[in-house]
Copies of this chain bind each other. A is one copy, B any other.
Amino acid sequence: MRITFIGAGNLATHLSKALIHSGHTIAQVYSHTYANAELLGQLVSAEPVCDIADIRGGADVYIFAVKDAVLESLSQELYKRLSATETPLFIHTAGSMSIDTLPAPRRGVLYPMQTFSKSREVDFGIIPVFIEAKTSDDMAVVRALAESVSTKVYEMSSDDRKYLHLSAVFFCNFANHCYRLGESVLAQHQIPFDVMLPLIDETARKVHVLSPHQAQTGPAVRWDSNVIDRHIHLLEGLDDMQSIYKLLSQSIHNDQL
């Protein structure tokens, strides 16, 4: 397919590279910042543009991989221009946004659920991709696109997807922030971060075979108040971390009741 990308951030970069790799063509890459459009344009052999007015029609699909806050306005602006001459298929990639944010009658969603950092390569083929469309014809297009980059493609409604996205914040961003807070304790005591990697890995691996509830260990699940009190004391002065420690320990405990 011939694809135009609106957006040149982490997700746009990883997704457009995976699409190129599967034999698709990227016609143009739009970014508000020309340097970003140019950078990604070079990676995927696409024309960089930084003005919506420079986006040409004729693409099979227009994929929006932009900040949620600008998705509606950007897609409306582009739709106004293109709808004079074609009935474009618009697809967005945002986990938490409804399919109906897009103005085009032919609209879809292709949400690859992963944590993307530009500096890190990912194996796109194992990333779960959640898709949605309004008609079976458009669903076939969205599905073909998704299946060309991933083996794990699921249809999901906008309503379920917003809860999926919410849960992903817990699984990924909040778990990673627990790593970050733990790291800050290690750093204060000159303990190298690397010693934690086996524990981090085993904690993640365990939930492949046990539920998180079954997998839980530590002072809070045993409600070992001696240890909990000592830990809270060690966090004296670190108000954020002390509050987080108390709230999460109590929540783990409540989960046992």
- Check if A222 sits within 8 Å of B122, measured CB to CB: no
Please tell me which stretch of A39-47, A74-82, A132-140, A242-250 contacts chain B, meaning at least 4 of its Cβ atoms lie within 8 angstroms of it: A242-250
Chain B residues within 8 Å of A10, by CB: 217
The CA of A92 and the CA of B102, in the complex, are separated in Å by 62
Chain B residues within 8 Å of A197, by CB: 207-208
Q: If A163-B186, A171-B203, A182-B170 touch, does A177 touch B248 (CB 8 Å cutoff)?
A: yes
What is the chain B residue whose CB lies nearest that of A222?
B67
Please tell me which stretch of A18-26, A48-56, A83-91, A112-120 contacts chain B, meaning at least 4 of its Cβ atoms lie within 8 angstroms of it: A112-120
- Check if B169 sits within 8 Å of A231, measured CB to CB: yes
Copies of this chain per assembly: 2
How distant is A85 from chain B, measured CB to nearest CB, in Å?
32
The CA of A170 and the CA of B246, in the complex, are separated in Å by 12
- Check if A218 sits within 8 Å of B167, measured CB to CB: no
A2 within 8 A of B: no
The CA of A234 and the CA of B159, in the complex, are separated in Å by 11
- Check if A202 sits within 8 Å of B115, measured CB to CB: yes
A32 within 8 A of B: no
Q: If A67-B224, A164-B186, A243-B247 touch, does A172 touch B115 (CB 8 Å cutoff)?
A: no
Q: A166-B231, A173-B217, A244-B247 are in contact. List 15 more A-B contacts (CB 8 A).
A: A68-B226, A69-B226, A113-B195, A114-B199, A163-B189, A164-B189, A164-B191, A165-B231, A167-B185, A169-B245, A171-B178, A171-B199, A172-B218, A177-B255, A197-B208
Residues of A within 8 A of B (CB): 10, 67-69, 96, 113-117, 119-120, 122, 126-128, 152, 154, 156, 160, 162-183, 185-186, 188-189, 191, 193, 195-204, 206-222, 224, 226-227, 230-231, 234-235, 240-241, 243-245, 247-248, 250-252, 254-255
